[in-house]
Amino acid sequence: MLQSPYVTSYLTEHFGNDEFTTLDGYERLGGYQAARKALTEMSPDDLIELVKASGLQGRGGAGFSMGMKWSFMPKEDDRPKYLVCNADESEPGSFKDRIMLERGAHQMLEGILIAAWATGAAATFIYIRGEYSFPADCVERAVAEAYEKGYFGANAMGTGFSHDVRVTRGAGAYICGEETGLLESLEGKKGQPRKKPPFPAQYGAFGMPTTVNNVETYSHVPHIINKGIDWFRAFGTDKSPGTTIFGVSGHVARPGLYELPLGTPLSEIVFEHAGGVPGGRKVKGVIPGGMSMPILPAGLLDVPMANEFLREQKTMLGTGGIMVMDETTCMVRVASIISYFFRDESCGQCTQCREGTGWMNKIVERIERGAGEQSDIDVLLDVAGKMEASTICAFADAAAWPIQGLLRHFSEDFIAHIGGRKCPFPESFEL
């Protein structure tokens, strides 16, 4: 079952303590002081500047500056403004938001209240993936407690500021994690991403100016208010400050969650914290940030887990979901599982994505069963290249990148299947 992180820091320090999940307990442990301070002592502009200066980057995958996002919200605009909390965690290999919802709902809500004050938002819509039934129950309970205490509603914390929170449960669609797919779904439609521009800050939820941030990103905010920028920037790297919650899965001795500073070397997370591969086997490859992010081979694991370093290796931090694969793993099988997923989840709007994900999956499966041709590798690379940067949303890129990564570092596995006309890794996935 879901367990508290093996290594904790400021976000997850109290996740093992049941008290932290109740409003009273959260306040006893210092909760809601940051929101009170923000709403009573700080102007929205000061808050936006503070969060900008903290360097806090979104923890949902794209890594965009949270303060910048807030500053895009139009100031001279009479329309109601909205926030969205993206709790549609569906990126394979990612399970950190789930524990943030189950064990840290008030911490997230406090971040939301502060963000609402900073952006002048009238309401926040928390969109939780439909399968997260228990986490959604936890959030709904926390929202009800916060309303009862007067922290949300017409007169939030007695300041005259009005802010409502609504919880929407999704119904099973990966694409609803894409921010405009989420907005469509929130409005009761098929979750097909919107063309941009207009961006959500101009035309977001229900057509109103909207900022979308991830569960974990909101949760950092109270700590930055309480302890200041210098304290926050002491964690992580210059360009990527703070901690994040890495989720480690696959072939490791201690799979689980680890809250560590950004910039922690991937090798330290895999070998020291997660205990390395059991049974004396060697690592073959590691996906560093959820399934959309290209794989790294064993020789490149010393990379610090921050985007400025990962980009040099043609991959990204993504959601921090780390998947470890040992030497028995067939990388063509991995490509087959990955391409099946993206084929299954493509929303079908854009031709490049709808057709491209299908083609990639068909070709990879053909290679996997020993019926591939040498030219298939070139076709794969050609299709993947044509899917990049050519569609309404980044889903097609996210489908192309991992296949490109596998071909970049493990082309010998593909060639062996094609030449030998069968899979040379009989033990793979039979654990």
Asked if 189 is part of the footprint of other proteins (rule: CB under 8 A), the reply reads yes
E runs forming strands in 219-363: 243-250, 256-261, 283-287, 296-297, 321-326
Least distance CB 60 / other proteins (angstroms): 14
The one among 28, 190, 196, 369 contacting other proteins by CB under 8 A: 190
Q: Exposed, middle or buried by CB within 10 Å (0-12, 13-18, 19+), for 1?
A: exposed
- Which one of the spans 111-119, 236-244, 331-339, 404-412 is the region binding other proteins (CB under 8 A)? 331-339
Asked if 166 is part of the footprint of other proteins (rule: CB under 8 A), the reply reads yes
Quick one: 51 or 286, whose CB is closer to other proteins?
286
Quick one: 67 or 200, whose CB is closer to other proteins?
200
| Maximum C-alpha span of the chain | 72
Quick one: 255 or 288, whose CB is closer to other proteins?
255
The Cα angle at residue 169 between residues 165 and 170, in degrees rounded to 5: 130
Q: How much is the CA Rg of the chain, to the nearest whole Å?
A: 22
Residue with tokens 């990564």: 405
Convert 48-76 to b/e letters by CB count within 10 Å (16 or more is b). Answer: bbbbbebbbbbbbbebeebbebbbebeee
Q: Please give the residues from 254 up to 313 whose contact with other proteins meets the rule CB under 8 A.
A: 255-257, 287, 291
The one among 104, 170, 241, 276 contacting other proteins by CB under 8 A: 170
Asked if 154 is part of the footprint of other proteins (rule: CB under 8 A), the reply reads no
Count the neighbouring beta carbons within 10 Å of the beta carbon of residue 351. Answer: 11
Cα(356)–Cα(411) distance, rounded to whole angstroms? 20
Q: Please give the residues from 110 up to 129 whose contact with other proteins meets the rule CB under 8 A.
A: 123, 125, 129
Residue with tokens 């521009």: 197
Answer for the pair 34, 221: CB distance below 8 angstroms, yes or no. yes
Quick one: 55 or 204, whose CB is closer to other proteins?
204
Asked if 430 is part of the footprint of other proteins (rule: CB under 8 A), the reply reads yes
Q: Please give the residues from 380 up to 399 whose contact with other proteins meets the rule CB under 8 A.
A: none
Quick one: 11 or 325, whose CB is closer to other proteins?
325
Answer for the pair 163, 152: CB distance below 8 angstroms, yes or no. yes
Asked if 191 is part of the footprint of other proteins (rule: CB under 8 A), the reply reads yes
Q: How many residues bind other proteins (CB under 8 A)?
A: 64
Q: Is 120 left (phi over 0), alpha (psi -120 to 50) or beta?
A: left
In this structure, what DSSP letter does residue 17 have?
-
Asked if 29 is part of the footprint of other proteins (rule: CB under 8 A), the reply reads no
Least distance CB 166 / other proteins (angstroms): 6
- Which one of the spans 217-225, 332-340, 405-413, 414-422 is the region binding other proteins (CB under 8 A)? 332-340
Residue 94 neighbours by CB under 8 Å, 6+ apart: 247, 290, 318, 319, 320, 321
- Which one of the spans 9-17, 245-253, 300-308, 364-372 is the region binding other proteins (CB under 8 A)? 245-253
**Phi, psi torsion values for 344, nearest 5 degrees:** -65, -35
The one among 132, 203, 401, 410 contacting other proteins by CB under 8 A: 132
Q: Please give the residues from 78 up to 107 whose contact with other proteins meets the rule CB under 8 A.
A: 80, 89-95, 97-98
Asked if 345 is part of the footprint of other proteins (rule: CB under 8 A), the reply reads yes
One symbol per residue from 39 to 78: x for binding other proteins (CB under 8 A), - otherwise; what is it? ----------------------------------------
Answer for the pair 9, 243: CB distance below 8 angstroms, yes or no. yes
Parallel, antiparallel, or unpaired for β 296-297 and 283-287? antiparallel
The one among 344, 373, 382, 427 contacting other proteins by CB under 8 A: 344
Asked if 171 is part of the footprint of other proteins (rule: CB under 8 A), the reply reads yes
Quick one: 225 or 322, whose CB is closer to other proteins?
322
The one among 250, 261, 263, 304 contacting other proteins by CB under 8 A: 250
Answer for the pair 213, 61: CB distance below 8 angstroms, yes or no. no
Count the neighbouring beta carbons within 10 Å of the beta carbon of residue 304. Answer: 19
Asked if 334 is part of the footprint of other proteins (rule: CB under 8 A), the reply reads yes
E runs forming strands in 76-197: 82-87, 123-128, 164-169
Least distance CB 82 / other proteins (angstroms): 8
List interacting residues with other proteins (CB under 8 A): 1-3, 80, 89-95, 97-98, 123, 125, 129-134, 164, 166, 168-174, 185-191, 205-206, 208, 247-251, 255-257, 287, 291, 321, 323-325, 329, 334, 337-338, 341, 344-345, 429-431
